Chain A
């Protein structure tokens, strides 16, 4: 309820379904992709991209040893180079959270964990929430949940909404990133709607993909999601973070994402607090580009560690 000029108005909000024009959104994404980022701007962008990476390993074969290696890389991507920042987070499966937490202690690098029956989301709510709570207790700073695409595609949006809201609750102090798995929603209209739904349910970040479904993150899908974040900000003054994940492999791609955030949302989002890149091999390409800026020539991948 609100009062306008002495008249009481109800809190009714019309439905949030808004269309996206596929041709135009792809044209805009392509146009932003032609920005030419040179010299100091490129250097700054590459460093910023490093600091925004959620360095990820999500394999059945992951072990404590693998995760410790990854954490070392996340904290000091190029040992001896204090000008290169640590990554934003390390992203692992729940059983490896404790290992990552210990390895990253005191570094400022966050521990992110996927939960809620990642990647399919096919599980019942009680078990999902239990997994979330245990993962936060084990030390996760951030939870990357997946939405229930079964419910979403059946049109049971209330179930999707309630599950996200319950997961926000279960996260307690941890931040929640909500993965829409845009490759399974397929149309931009659905991506837009799912983004709005996730934000309304309390998501701190919205995220494109698990990385297990193709296509994963794309520039146009990211643009649609950023535009929903922008609209939410205009309406409420509240910021929501964005994380494209999967398929971002090169420094050139990373800079295109940064340009898109910069020109869609602006300065306030140009920080790891509000924008992350879910990636693994991207880091080495960024480091190679940074070394190229320093040395004037590309060095061999053999000078860069795995992971």
Chain B
């Protein structure tokens, strides 16, 4: 500002420090039961034993859910088999489509309540459940409803047939959205479903069951069994399942694949990741900074495709770090129900402990920690969004999937080195490339071993776009035309 100095006007309004008031989403109109067993054969059923699920932002219990036993899983699979044979496989495809459209519309109608419950049970900011999870969940049902009566045109005129009963196990990071990703294509292709939600986040699946009732979906077409990993194991190992779809850790995925070998069950796995977000020196830098923030702090970093390894061209490293430091200072961490919260609660105590352990490893291995200077709530599971500089590829924070708001900043000198470093991981789920030069973007993208590659964006999702991994990030695709394949027998 040149050499002149304006004398400040003295008005009360010009007082510095404009602070936003809390803008809490009201929870008055949401309703849910104190106890849920399972949802089998179109009805809510009791369980033998129950466990509690909490709100991670308050640590208060929300409701109890059934701990699915092998017998309860068996009842659910039998119900799904009946639903398949009696109703779903008998319906003309265009009738299946009608149900899916109806479910999609009901998801939209109940979007506000579902978003609030997703935030209460999962800890994610309301603006994300409202603007991302719910619209996308509905979009997947709309999208696959459209495919239901066009399946014979999906694969070059090949005859297709459903597989039968699908057993699906989903994680806690996008509870409702993962249910939609799994259920919509399965039903569109003519299969029936038994799904197990994660034990920390089963609430919205129960609300989804209510929507299925409201949509008058025939009994047994979708069944939910609640419970922990033991219930999941009973489900995937049930002899009358035709297909298993699992999203979760690479460790569990590997165990499932071993168990399924030789059973004839189809399998798709969507596992871990350690995504590289590559920033070239000709990138639109201010927008790249937003992409870095979205890449790692979206959903508290509980995202399998998170951009957790930042690869910055060395010539702009300092500039990126300075901007990142500034941007970190404007992040709003706190009550997930506040409409202005950017980063919410960590999903569970166990996950918080894991993240905190890695924050320790980062420093121990010699990296420099930069934490957001924001205040954290006194209770609930919260951690300050963090990035590390001075990270070497050998550090644990650079190699392991942390599944939290922790970013490792590393450098490269040339596109070749960027590609080499990005691919130097057992994972291969996602990557981002930031450059203003289109030819470079496509040249680099074609060399990356990752299932999803974003150009000048990150963590953007669309029902029409296939999502899935390379290498230890799994196999099979969800979304798009490719997302039909795991649920169909293609007969040439």
How far, in angstroms, from A105 to B326 measured CA to CA in the complex?
41
* Other-chain contact of A45, B1, B11, B18 (Cβ < 8 Å): B18
Q: A215 in the interface, Cβ–Cβ < 8 Å?
A: no
Of B94-102, B216-224, B284-292, the segment with at least 4 beta carbons within 8 Å of chain A is B284-292
Give the docked Cα–Cα distance between A272 and B16 (Å).
Answer: 11
Complex CA–CA separation, A238 to B5 (angstroms): 11
Nearest CB to that of B6 among chain A residues?
Answer: A273
With a cutoff of 8 Å between Cβ atoms, the chain A residues found around residue B339 in the complex are 34-36
Q: How far is the CB of A251 from chain B (nearest CB, A)?
A: 14
- By a CB distance below 8 angstroms, the chain B residues around A273 are 6, 8-9
- Enumerate chain B residues within 8 angstroms of A240, measured Cβ to Cβ: 1
Q: Tell yes or no: A99 within 8 A of B by CB.
A: no
A38-B14 in contact (CB<8A): no
Which B residues between 1 and 26 are near A, CB-CB below 8 angstroms? Answer: 1-2, 4, 6, 8-9, 11-23
Are A34 and B4 neighbours in the complex by a CB distance under 8 Å?
A: no
Minimum Cβ distance to chain B for residue A95 (Å): 25
Q: Would B284 and A20 count as touching, CB distance under 8 A?
A: yes
Q: Which residue of B2, B283, B323, B330 is within 8 Å of A19 (Cβ)?
A: B283
Q: Is the CB of A44 within 8 A of B2?
A: no
Q: Chain B residue with minimal CB distance to A226?
A: B286
A239 to B284, CA, bound (A): 22
CA distance A33 to B11 in the complex (A): 26
| Closest Cβ–Cβ distance, residue B69 to chain A (whole Å) | 44
B284 near A41: Cβ-Cβ < 8 Å: no
- The interface residues of chain A lying within 8 Å CB-to-CB of B21 are 37-42
The answer to whether B81 has its CB under 8 Å from any CB of chain A is: no
Q: Does B247 contact A (CB under 8 A)?
A: no
Does the CB pair A21–B13 fall under 8 Å?
Answer: no
List the B side residues contacting A108 at CB < 8 Å.
Answer: 9
Q: Say yes or no: is B204 at the interface (Cβ < 8 Å to chain A).
A: no
Q: Are B284 and A21 in contact (CB under 8 A)?
A: yes
- Complex: A23 Cα to B454 Cα, angstroms: 13
Known: A19-B284, A41-B18, A273-B6. A50 touches B13 (CB 8 A): yes
Is A294's CB within 8 Å of the partner chain B?
no
Q: Is the CB of A48 within 8 A of B18?
A: yes
Stretch touching chain B among A66-74, A82-90, A122-130, A295-303: A82-90
Report Cα–Cα, A262/B329, bound state, in Å: 12
Whole-angstrom CA separation of A108 from B9 in the bound complex: 7
Question: Within 8 Å of chain B (Cβ to Cβ): is A267?
Answer: yes
Q: Which of B131, B286, B322 is A227 in contact with, Cβ under 8 Å?
A: B286
Q: B18, A258: Cβ atoms under 8 Å?
A: yes
Contact present for B2 and A24 (CB under 8 Å) = no
Q: Does A168 contact B (CB under 8 A)?
A: yes
The chain B residue sitting closest to A88, CB to CB, is B9
Closest chain-B Cβ to A173's Cβ sits at a distance in Å of 7
- The reply to whether the CB of B425 lies closer than 8 angstroms to some CB of chain A is no
Quote the shortest CB–CB distance from A185 to chain B (angstroms): 17
B286 neighbours in A (Cβ, 8 Å): 20, 25, 227, 231
Tell me the smallest distance from the CB of A222 to a CB of chain B, in Å: 13
| A204 close to chain B: CB less than 8 A | yes
> Residue on A with the closest CB to B23?
A36
Find residues 224-278 in chain A having any chain B CB closer than 8 Å to their own CB: 227, 230-231, 234, 238-241, 258, 262-263, 266-268, 270-273
CB distance from A97 to the nearest CB of B (A): 18
Q: Does A292 contact B (CB under 8 A)?
A: no
**Contact indicator B6/A262 (Cβ below 8 Å):** no
Q: Are A18 and B285 in contact, CB atoms less than 8 angstroms apart?
A: yes
Within 8 A of A (CB), among B311-345: 322-323, 326, 330, 339-340
Q: Is A47 close to B, CB under 8 A?
A: yes
**A71 CA to B488 CA in the complex, in Å?**
74
Given A48-B14, A175-B4: A37 and B20 interface contact (C-beta under 8 Å): yes
Q: Is the CB of A238 within 8 A of B1?
A: yes
Contacts A41-B18, A48-B14 given; indicate if A20 touches B287 (C-beta within 8 A). yes
Quick check: A85 and B13 within 8 Å, CB to CB? yes
> For the complex, what is the distance from the CA of A262 to the CA of B301, rounded to whole Å?
25
Instruction: Please state if B1 and A51 are interface contacts (CB–CB under 8 Å).
Output: no
Residues of B within 8 A of A41 (CB): 18-21
Cβ of A307 < 8 Å from any Cβ of B?
Answer: no
B contact residues around A173 at 8 Å (CB): 4
Residues of A within 8 A of B282 (CB): 19
* Residues of B with C-beta under 8 A to A25: 284, 286-287
**Does B210 touch A at the CB level, under 8 Å?**
no
Contact of A35 with B18 in the complex, beta carbons under 8 Å: no
Give B342's nearest chain A residue, CB to CB. A31
Whether B127 is near chain A, meaning CB under 8 Å from some CB there, is yes
Q: Which of A4-59 contact B (CB under 8 A)?
A: 18-21, 23-25, 27-28, 34-42, 44-45, 47-48, 50-51
Of the listed residues B13, B18, B23, B339, the one surrounded by the most CB atoms of chain A closer than 10 A to its CB is: B13
Residues of B within 8 A of A268 (CB): 16
In the complex, what residues of A have CB within 8 A of residue B323's CB?
234
Residues of B within 8 A of A263 (CB): 330
Contacts A238-B1, A271-B16: A28 and B287 contacting too (C-beta < 8 A)?
A: yes
> Please, which residues of chain B bring their CB within 8 A of the CB of A272?
9, 11, 14
B85 CB-CB contact with A under 8 Å:
no
CB distance from A240 to the nearest CB of B (A): 6
CB distance from A195 to the nearest CB of B (A): 12
A121 on interface, CB distance cutoff 8 Å: no
- Give the residues from 36 to 59 in chain B that come closer than 8 angstroms, CB to CB, to chain A: none
Residue B351 at the chain A interface, CB threshold 8 Å: no
Sample (25) of A-B pairs whose CB atoms are under 8 Å apart: A20-B286, A21-B436, A21-B456, A28-B290, A35-B20, A35-B340, A38-B21, A38-B23, A44-B13, A45-B18, A47-B11, A47-B13, A48-B14, A85-B9, A85-B11, A85-B12, A234-B322, A238-B2, A241-B1, A266-B330, A267-B17, A267-B18, A271-B9, A271-B16, A272-B9
Which 6 residue pairs are nearest across A and B when measured between Cβ atoms?
A47-B13, A24-B287, A36-B23, A19-B436, A85-B11, A21-B284
Given contacts A230-B326, A267-B18, 15 further A-B contacts (CB under 8 A): A19-B282, A21-B283, A24-B457, A27-B290, A37-B21, A38-B23, A50-B13, A83-B12, A85-B13, A108-B9, A239-B1, A240-B1, A270-B16, A271-B16, A273-B9
Residues in chain A within 8 A of chain B (CB atoms): 18-21, 23-25, 27-28, 34-42, 44-45, 47-48, 50-51, 83, 85-86, 88, 108, 168, 173, 175, 202, 204, 227, 230-231, 234, 238-241, 258, 262-263, 266-268, 270-273
